[in-house]
Amino acid sequence: MVIALLAVLGVDLIVIVVLLGAVLARRRWVSHQPGAFKGAIRVVDGEVSGLGPKWKRGYGRWVRDVLVWTKAPSLFRNELAAVDGLAGAVRGAEPGEVKRLGRQPVIVPLAAEGGARIEVTAAGDDRGRVLGSLAAPAPPPSELPREPPKDPQDRDDSGAKVAQS
């Protein structure tokens, strides 16, 4: 629609082609970022800068505990949401609640910084990407793998390393 309007207003065809090429290249770059998923987002309670109460489409990805949301259709604006954790159980979307995300979209409620609550939805196949690091909490330090024990033959009585010949 925007392209048709530009053509009617007399904008050169090359400008329209370059603009369309830039949008398509950006879409490809955003969708191929590590951990990126296509979905929709909305704010349920509180305020999150750049996001509102209606479902907005785009691409999301996790950078540590920050959800980076790139808004569709132009994909040139990123919104950041610092997330404290899950705000409830992951659930399936009701029929008609969210459209164009596959047969079994999932809705993930997240607790954002400042007491806000947001919901992110994506295709059921992308459930692991939507949860990001929230899917599997880090093990406690006592359960982390440790360095394997040193071979006692490589050390002398004082603990210094002995040269092998």
pLDDT at 152 over 60: no
Domain that holds residue 64: 36-135
pLDDT at 74 over 70: yes
Kindly state whether residue 94 falls inside one of the protein's structural domains.
Answer: yes
Label the pairing between strands 56-63 and 78-86: unpaired
Average pLDDT over residues 32-45: 92
pLDDT of 158 reads 64
Encode pLDDT of 79-132 as tens digits.
999 999 999 898 898 888 888 888 889 999 999 988 999 999 998 888 889 898
Kindly state whether residue 148 falls inside one of the protein's structural domains.
Answer: no
Mean pLDDT for the chain? Answer: 82
The 3 state secondary structure assigned to 115-150 is HCEEEEEECHHHHHHHHHHHCCCCCCHHHCCCCCCC
The 3 state secondary structure assigned to 10-22 is CCCHHHHHHHHHH
Kindly state whether residue 147 falls inside one of the protein's structural domains.
Answer: no
pTM: 0.71
Q: With beta carbons less than 8 A apart as the criterion, state whether 105 and 38 touch.
A: no
| Structural domain total, the chain | 2
Q: Which of 133, 124, 121 is nearest to 59 (CA)?
A: 121
Q: How far apart (Å, rounded) are the C-alpha atoms in residues 23 and 131?
A: 28
Same domain, 22 and 62: no
